[in-house]
Chain A
Amino acid sequence: QKEVEQNSGPLSVPEGAIASLNCTYSDRGSQSFFWYRQYSGKSPELIMSIYSNGDKEDGRFTAQLNKASQYVSLLIRDSQPSDSATYLCAVNIGQAGTALIFGKGTTLSVSS
């Protein structure tokens, strides 16, 4: 059974702080990794994709991947109340047509 594990939270951080979200996956064949943000009642919105070990930065977001440890994380710098949402980690083996395997999501709450 391919699994993606996330802490459900809630993770609470004050405005301006760094939020750190973590994810582990079971399938060593996974090649593509994604972070989606989902506001309550809305659909998942892609915020980051990462395919190779190391860090990838996009604005206030940094995704980190360690394939040896089967671990992927998302850092949100200068957290804003508008970042309050559920963050879904998703992985797949990177072949055309393969489904994403999602974690249950981590709920982030940023207080002003």
Chain B
Amino acid sequence: GAGVSQSPRYKVAKRGQDVALRCDPISGHVSLFWYQQALGQGPEFLTYFQNEAQLDKSGLPSDRFFAERPEGSVSTLKIQRTQQEDSAVYLCASTSAGGGQPQHFGDGTRLSIL
């Protein structure tokens, strides 16, 4: 498909487990963003990549959150020692180079921590 692809769509984990969420951006998009969306809220920024470089990680809520994009395409968001407050929808968005371009979102991963 031509859109942003995320997997898994749903993830249930027990508190304390580690999880990994995957994002495959639109082909050719150099910019990749991760957002967290809590129920009833708008998405909130987590981190940004330009190609393989993580240029902004100011939105990551704790050092349990880690993201990578080693080859400048697929990205993985990892959460270690999950907590109940990590339950949310994690959205990935990509955009072509240049400022102000619209960001296109994937379907998201709904994470539930029991």
Q: Give chain A's interface residues, CB within 8 Å of chain B.
A: 4, 31-32, 34, 36, 42-46, 49, 51, 88, 90, 92, 94-105
Return the 9 tightest CB-CB contacts between A and B, nearest first.
A102-B42, A99-B45, A94-B100, A32-B100, A95-B99, A43-B105, A96-B99, A94-B99, A43-B108
Contact B40 A104 (CB under 8 A): yes
Q: Which residues of B contact A31 (CB under 8 A)?
A: 99-100
Contact B40 A43 (CB under 8 A): no
- Decide yes or no whether B44 CB sits under 8 A from chain A: yes
Q: Which of the 9-residue segments B12-20, B48-56, B73-81 touches chain A?
A: B48-56
- Decide yes or no whether B43 CB sits under 8 A from chain A: yes
Interface contacts (Cβ under 8 Å), in number, total 66
Report the nearest A residue to B33, measured CB to CB: A99
Bin the interface of chain B by size.
20 to 34
Minimum CB–CB distance from A45 to chain B (whole Å) comes to 8
For chain A, what secondary structure do more than half of its interface residues adopt (helix, strand, loop), or is it mixed? loop
- Which B residues from 72 to 99 make CB contacts under 8 A with A? 91, 93, 97-99
B44's contact among A32, A94, A98, A102, by CB below 8 Å, is which? A102
Known pairs A88-B42, A88-B43, A102-B42 / 5 extra A-B pairs, C-beta < 8 Å = A43-B108, A44-B91, A94-B100, A97-B31, A98-B99
Q: Which residues of A contact B68 (CB under 8 A)?
A: none
- Cα-based distance from A112 to B107 in the complex (angstroms): 28
Q: Which residues of A contact B59 (CB under 8 A)?
A: 99
